[in-house]
Structure 1
Amino acid sequence: MPPDQLPALTPDACALLDEFTVCLPATAGGQHNHAPSIQMLHRLLAYTGADEPIPERTVRELAGLGPKIPLHRMVFFLHERGLLEPDHDRITATSPSLARLDTDRTDARHHQAIEDKLRRLPDAMADQMRTWVAVRRGQGRRPHPPADFTRIRRDLHVVLPVLSGWSRDGLDLREITAAHVTSALAARQGHQARGVHHVLLSVFRALKQERAVFSNPLAGFSLTTPVRLPEPLPSDRLRGLLDRIDSAMGRLAVGLVAVHAIKVTDAARLPLTALDLSHATLRLQLRGQPHTVHLDTLTRHLLDDYLQTRRQQWPVSPNPHLLLTTHSAHHPALPPVSYCALRRAFDQTGITPRQMWSDRVLDEARHTADPVHLVHLFGINPGTAVRYVHAAHPDKALPAIR
């Protein structure tokens, strides 16, 4: 694949790829002889990112899709940097003693990667987070089975931006109050807010247990306590959205959200069999229940454009999902398209998927005071439907639905 057709990488992934290129041994053909290995790592990092360890099975399965490439340098390179999650079944089958040695080395690399992240924090906060890591590893005052290092690294990656913000304000974790936590969560939405809340809860419980903080600011704190009513987007921001998007898949994804209020995660999981072209419908499973979407003229045009592109680019893809990318079309695991791949289209519009979904539901609620209509039209929870009708018609007092 020509270099200019390879997918874009994050800055961290670019730096890692450059480091790998420099580490390759010199050959008579120069870097040209290593081009397949470099492109292989490029595609791998574009699919997985460079923030967390990559399963060894994913590396080997992805390599099996193309021409035979020697993987030992790439695997060793990722392994040495704590970015490979070894296939322990394969190692154990080869040698149990080697498996134990490999586990010890892997844990040491994970520990070093955690230390590298903690060094970005002031000493006091870094020491507090080391206490949290020790508790997660079962080394606290109340011993328990240790958490996996991979999970600890992921949790640290989730909460590190919040910790960095607090440290820039001159705070350490003993000075954090419920107001600080509320402010940090208010700046995030959905799964991101829940992830930060979950990790902060773990951090402060561990520190309180180890008597490293005076109080737990999350005691009695509920993420669902503040009820935020949806607010409509200005109509001028909704004009010309599709003209800003440079891919047929992106335009279809935005159309499904903006017109039919299909959430991005649900759109990503849509199987090709969900589409019924003869009746112009999509069949989904929402909240465990079947839901049928009747496609309008605009969405049908977007769908036709995308299906034509799909047939041209991936005519024999085994992936059963409707939406495909270069990475998912022939991936051995046949995964749905990633959230990040769809989010790019929304970034081009300047509106988040959540905002667009909320605006569509709220716009429909303005035309009706019946939450049952919203439930049937969008397949949403009855309580959510009542909340949107309340926002659209604050003068109408509707009973809460549990």
Structure 2
Amino acid sequence: MSQERRDRYDEQALHTRIARLPAPMSDQLSTWVRALHGQGRYRHTPAGFRRIRRYLRIAWPTLTLWTAAGLDLRQVTADHITSELARHQGNVARGLLSVLRSFFRALKQERLIFLNPTAGLQLPAGVHLPRPLSSDRLAGALDRLDGPAARLIVGLVAIHAVRAVEVVRLDLADPDLARRTLAVRRGEGIRLVHLDDLSIDLAADRLRERRRRWPQATNPHLLSTSQTYRHPASPQISYCAMRAVFDQIGLLPRQVWADRILDEARQTADPVHLVRLFGIYPSIAVKDVHAAHPDKALPRIR
């Protein structure tokens, strides 16, 4: 899919979601989108619609909660925000605060509000060590999933620590079953994952299912749905569709991803091994090894 078509798709999806909220909340969010996209009162480098969609997704539960309480963004106070942040922890709370700041900065810039209720709000940095999932929560997980696509998504995350958002971006050409590899795009680079027998079987099952159900499919993504397999914009499956897969086993995608890395960390005290195997940041590798071996002093890695 061309970048122009992708942008149009993301823009339409963004405005469709915003339209689900009543005015004036929807109008305020539309103003926020225009400001972030560089069409506000002050010119700046525009944020892409895909990024803005990601921001909106992070704040969506909070926005719907405030809407249900009869609030719009002009009525939200620092107390409302503090109360909402208290419901979350760690990076989730920090990510939410970052998005809320962007809302109110944009509205102040566009002169829809006079005071920014996020001004001065801070969250402690904190260091949260990962916790392993109990074995009974993962046992038989693949058997509880509905269909080859769902099993492939969870399998790649649980076995190879491929991030769920990376799985849904995979194209048909990315799995090379003959060479037993999977090309995973990460930023500007590609991480080559060497597949085990189970992962080969999961990918092959998914490819057979796709050929059987949609022999005339035009969407180049490895994962598609009855709504997207011949969609002219060739979109990847939605975040909600991906999350629905993990809902079947009662786990979040990040829990499964983190547990796989932590399981490997239990087998080694070498964070460099984790960096090379999973392509993760050194700081994450050190944190996981520390969680798996709290009695050992770890050297810094660069």
TM-score computed with the length of structure 1 as normaliser: 0.57
Counterpart of 1:114 in structure 2 is 23
Q: 1:393 aligns with which of 261, 272, 293?
A: 293
1:166 is displaced (CA, Å) by 8.5
Q: 1:365 aligns with which of 251, 260, 265?
A: 265
CA distance 1:372–1:222, change in 2 (3 Å): same
Cα distance in 1, alignment partners of residues 281 and 60 from structure 2 = 32
Cα distance in 1, alignment partners of residues 33 and 229 from structure 2 = 38
Counterpart of 2:251 in structure 1 is 351
Q: 1:221 aligns with which of 116, 122, 133?
A: 122
Q: 2:154 aligns with which of 243, 254, 273?
A: 254
Cα distance in 2, alignment partners of residues 289 and 158 from structure 1 = 33
1:249 is displaced (CA, Å) by 0.3
Q: 2:142 aligns with which of 242, 255, 271?
A: 242
Deviates more, 1:270-279 or 1:286-295: 286-295
Residue pairs, 1:31-110, within 5 angstroms: 53-54=15-16, 83=19
1:53 is displaced (CA, Å) by 3.1
1:252 is displaced (CA, Å) by 0.9
Counterpart of 1:144 in structure 2 is 41
1:158 is displaced (CA, Å) by 5.7
Helix, strand or coil for the counterpart of 1:299? Answer: helix
1:382 is displaced (CA, Å) by 1.6
1:186 is displaced (CA, Å) by 1.9
Counterpart of 1:378 in structure 2 is 278
CA distance 1:240–1:389, change in 2 (3 Å): same
Which structure has the greater CA radius of gyration? 1
**2:148–2:202 CA contact under 8 A, matched in 1:** yes
Cα distance in 2, alignment partners of residues 53 and 304 from structure 1 = 37
CA distance 1:395–1:289, change in 2 (3 Å): farther
The total of aligned residue pairs comes to: 275
1:326 is displaced (CA, Å) by 1.4
1:54 is displaced (CA, Å) by 3.9
Counterpart of 2:79 in structure 1 is 176
Structure 2: where are the runs of 5+ without partners? 1-8
Deviates more, 1:376-385 or 1:175-184: 175-184
Cα distance in 1, alignment partners of residues 179 and 162 from structure 2 = 18
Helix, strand or coil for the counterpart of 1:364? Answer: helix
**1:162–1:184 CA contact under 8 A, matched in 2:** no
CA distance 1:351–1:136, change in 2 (3 Å): closer
**1:274–1:283 CA contact under 8 A, matched in 2:** yes
Residue identity opposite 1:395 in structure 2: D
Deviates more, 1:390-399 or 1:261-270: 390-399
Residue pairs, 1:290-369, within 5 angstroms: 290-369=190-269
CA distance 1:181–1:158, change in 2 (3 Å): closer
Cα distance in 1, alignment partners of residues 141 and 41 from structure 2 = 52
Residues 52-93 of structure 1, C-alpha deviations (whole Å, 9 max, x = no match): 5349xxxxxxxxxxxxxxxxxxxxxxxxxx95xxxxxxxxxx
Tell me the percent identity. Answer: 39
What's the Cα RMSD here?
4.1
1:212 is displaced (CA, Å) by 4.7
**1:375–1:381 CA contact under 8 A, matched in 2:** yes
1:154 is displaced (CA, Å) by 5.1
Helix, strand or coil for the counterpart of 2:193? Answer: strand
Counterpart of 1:266 in structure 2 is 166
TM-score computed with the length of structure 2 as normaliser: 0.74
Counterpart of 1:289 in structure 2 is 189
**2:90–2:128 CA contact under 8 A, matched in 1:** no
Counterpart of 1:107 in structure 2 is none
Structure 1: where are the runs of 5+ without partners? 1-46, 56-81, 84-109, 119-128
CA distance 1:236–1:157, change in 2 (3 Å): closer
- Bigger helix share: 1
**2:15–2:30 CA contact under 8 A, matched in 1:** no
